[in-house]
Structure 1
Amino acid sequence: MSFQERLKRIIQLYDEILRTGHRTEIIRELQEEDDLFMLLLYSDMLGIPNPAFYYTLELYPHMLEKFHDWHTRMGMDKSPLTGFRCC
């Protein structure tokens, strides 16, 4: 094993040690960002005016798979959107 490979492995190990303590915080923060994005994406359908509706309209087909996970995480047992079934 060359010096560069050992150094690279040491840096990877150091990075992993630093991330271990904060892994849950990172996951929670990424989930909060995802929840906020989903709220922005579907806010017009929920009755909240969305100034970026025209730009987010094309994202709906790509986000349908995540919609069920989002509304159950927000505490809604069934889809809050009328005419839109995911469960």
Structure 2
Amino acid sequence: MKGVETLKKLVQLYDEILSVHHRTEILRELRDEDDLFLLLCMSETLGLSNPAFYYTLELYPYILEKFHDWHLRMGMEKSPLTGIRCC
């Protein structure tokens, strides 16, 4: 078991060494993926047709917490949705 733990620590250290210079790029890419996911989930409310609306409906309570940060990053001063007041 000790060898497995040592191997896990070595892999974690290797991953940290590789990502230290690219941390901001990785965070930006993760944020962009999150923005795309929010757009897919909220597209029906914004007037865009969304084929995955039925599957994303149950995620709305979790998304509402992040919606304010998202619309500010998209350059919208106020919430574009009349039913969602986050500001």
Q: Check whether TM > 0.5.
A: yes
Give the equivalent residue in structure 2 for 1:80.
80
Q: What is the CA deviation profile of residues 36-57 of structure 1, one whole-angstrom value per residue up to 9, with x for unaligned ones?
A: 0000000000000011111111
What is the CA–CA distance in structure 2 between the aligned matches of 1:54 and 1:70, rounded to whole Å?
22
CA drift of 1:84 comes to 1.6
Q: What is the CA deviation profile of residues 41-76 of structure 1, one whole-angstrom value per residue up to 9, with x for unaligned ones?
A: 000000000111111111101111000000001000
5+ residue gaps in structure 1?
Answer: none
Equivalenced residues, count: 86
Q: Alpha carbons of 1:56 and 1:4: their partners in 2 closer, same or farther (altered >3 Å)? A: closer
Report which of the two structures shows the higher radius of gyration computed on alpha carbons. 1
Identical-residue share of aligned pairs (%): 71
Q: What is the CA deviation profile of residues 7-50 of structure 1, one whole-angstrom value per residue up to 9, with x for unaligned ones?
A: 76555443322111111111011001000000000000000001
Q: Aligned-pair RMSD on alpha carbons? A: 2.0
5+ residue gaps in structure 2?
Answer: none
Q: Alpha carbons of 1:83 and 1:26: their partners in 2 closer, same or farther (altered >3 Å)? A: same
Q: Alpha carbons of 1:75 and 1:8: their partners in 2 closer, same or farther (altered >3 Å)? A: same
Q: Alpha carbons of 1:5 and 1:67: their partners in 2 closer, same or farther (altered >3 Å)? A: closer
Give the equivalent residue in structure 2 for 1:50.
50
